[in-house]
Amino acid sequence: MTQITAHEGNKSNVLLTELVIVILFFALTAVTAMQMFVGAHQKSRSNALVNRAMIIAQDWAERLNGQLRPEDFLTQAGFAQPDEADAGYCLPEDAEGNEVRAVVLRERFDAGELVTVKISVLNNRRQFGEVDEAEQVSPSAPFAALSSASYFPDAPPPDSHPQPPESGQAQSDEHIDGSVMDHAA
Amino acid sequence: MQTARNDPQKTRHISGIFVFLLIGIYAVFSLLLVLVGVRAYRGVVDATETDNQLRTTISYIANKVRAADGMVSLRDIEGLSVLVLGEPREDADADYETFIYFFQPPSGEQGGVYELSLLASDPFEPDMGELIAGTVRLDLSHEGKLLLLKLTLQNGETQQMRLNSRVTEGLGGV
């Protein structure tokens, strides 16, 4: 009787040990799966932020396209003037944490002036709330960046026969090119 | 004696209950993991669909406006705010016009952004258009030469973008 009880006890111990090992492996798998789920969710949120940033950058690029004095337009639109020469104009964060920066570059050519505005949209927010200052994305790594360039030819001399500008082209030969840089936190 | 006989039985019962409890905990946590995974997957799919609708609609309209190269106007036709893009064709006898608008069919079908290409002389019938993006509400207006697109998605999110229409004069009143 005692031997039968001991035998049943051993079987029970083996079963329990096997269960514990199974649960251990399940726990390891669950941790890996949860990491993947969280990563996928964060990536999805990051992509959404990048898309919104790209739309904001395009919006400003279209508004700046063809502006003879983009500096005045940016100032009137609420951009803060830069402290340094190459820092760019800065629009404070909106409700979603998007900060817009614009750098105006002018290049003089023989026949006119090329005005390029480089627009960057930054967002330092993580998907689950604000980040610590130490973890902020570097200002040199924006979510989305575009440039809007307009070429303004010089006016012809008064004694020449001026040609009327083509419809839709006016005084600018414009192009917008851009890239999206994903620097998800 | 009775206590000595009952003790092994009691121990056996407790062991059995403990085993079932362990298996039950394993089953519950498995179920929780699956539920979390489903929720994460659904969230990712919804976010992707929302982004696609937004980007696709804006990109489509923006490319159409840029291709029109200045032949852009906003008109109010039958209470609808319609973006009209001109398409003069040298190989055709007449010019075509492309109408882009938001329309909610009275028959209860899905409302959304529609597109319709017609000869310039043909009458505009909004229900003949082709659905570009459903579940998206498009509001069209203008700020001088800038065309303002305001999209409202089904989840209530709104996004707006301006397009330089490159017209020589104003876009026309809505």
**Structure confidence by residue, pLDDT tens digits, B34-56:** 999 999 999 999 989 888 888 89
Q: Which residues of A touch B15 (CB under 8 A)?
A: 12, 16
Tell if the CB–CB gap between B162 and A52 is shorter than 8 Å: no
More confident residue, A151 or A140: A151
Residue with the larger pLDDT of the pair A92 and A149: A92
Mutate to test the interface with A, among B13, B22, B149, B158 (most CBs of A within 10 A): B22
SS (H, E, C) chain B: CHHHHHHHHHHHHHHHHHHHHHHHHHHHHHHHHHHHHHHHHHHHHHHHHHHHHHHHHHHHHHHHHHHHCCCEEEEEECCEEEEEEEECCCCCCCCEEEEEEEECCCCCCCCEEEEEEEECCCCCCHHHCEEEEECEEEEEEEECCEEEEEEEECCCCEEEEEEECCCCCCCCCC
Of the candidates A30, A43, A63, the beta carbon closest to that of B162 is on A63
pLDDT: is B82 or A16 the higher one?
B82
Compare CB distances from B58 to A37, A40, A55 and report the shortest one's residue. Answer: A55
Q: Is the pTM of this model over 0.90?
A: no
- Tally C-beta pairs within 8 A across A and B: 86
pLDDT at B3: 53
Task: Supply the mean pLDDT for chain A.
Answer: 71
- Residue A136's pLDDT is 43
Q: Residue A55: its chain B contacts at CB < 8 A? A: 54-55, 58, 159, 161
- Exposed (0-12), middle (13-18) or buried (19+): which is B161, by Cβ within 10 Å? buried
> What's the one-letter identity of residue A62?
E
Q: How confident is the prediction for chain B on average, in pLDDT? A: 83
Neighbours of B117 (CB within 10 A): 13
Query: Residue A148: pLDDT band by 50, 70, 90 thresholds?
Result: low
Residue A127 CA to chain centroid, in angstroms? 13
Give the list of residues 6+ apart from residue A123 with CB closer than 8 angstroms, or none.
Answer: A49, A53, A96, A97, A98, A99, A137, A143
pLDDT value of residue B80: 86
Confidence of residue B73 (pLDDT cuts 50, 70, 90): confident
Facing B168 at nearest CB: one of A40, A43, A167: A167
pLDDT band at B92 (very low <50, low <70, confident <90, very high): low
Find, in chain B, the residue whose alpha carbon is nearest to that of A49: B51
pLDDT, tens digit, 9 for 90 and up, residues A80-114: 887 665 568 888 888 778 888 888 888 888 888 88
Give CA A59 to chain center in angstroms.
Answer: 14
Q: Given pLDDT bands bounded at 50, 70 and 90, which one contains residue B16?
A: confident
Q: Is A84 exposed, middle or buried (0-12, 13-18, 19+ CB in 10 A)?
A: exposed
Mark yes or no for CB contact A37/B37 under 8 Å. Answer: yes
Q: What is the mean pLDDT of residues A42-71?
A: 86
Q: Which of A5, A44, A55 sits opposite B159 (nearest CB)?
A: A55
Confidence of residue A131 (pLDDT cuts 50, 70, 90): very low
pLDDT value at B139 more than 80: yes
Which chain A residues contact residue B20 at CB under 8 A? none
Q: Are residues B162 and A5, on separate chains, in Cβ contact within 8 Å?
A: no
Q: What is the mean pLDDT of residues B163-169?
A: 72
Residues of chain B contacting residue A26, judged by C-beta atoms under 8 Å apart: 26, 29-30
CB B95 within 8 A of CB B88: yes
The pLDDT, as a whole number, for residue A172 is 37
Burial (CB count within 10 angstroms: exposed 0-12, middle 13-18, buried 19+), residue A3: exposed
pLDDT of B111 over the 60 cut: yes
Strand positions, DSSP E, chain A:
89-91, 98-108, 112-123, 144-153, 175-180
Q: Which two tokens stand for residue A101?
A: 């920066």
- As a whole-number percent, the residues of chain A with pLDDT over 70 amount to 59
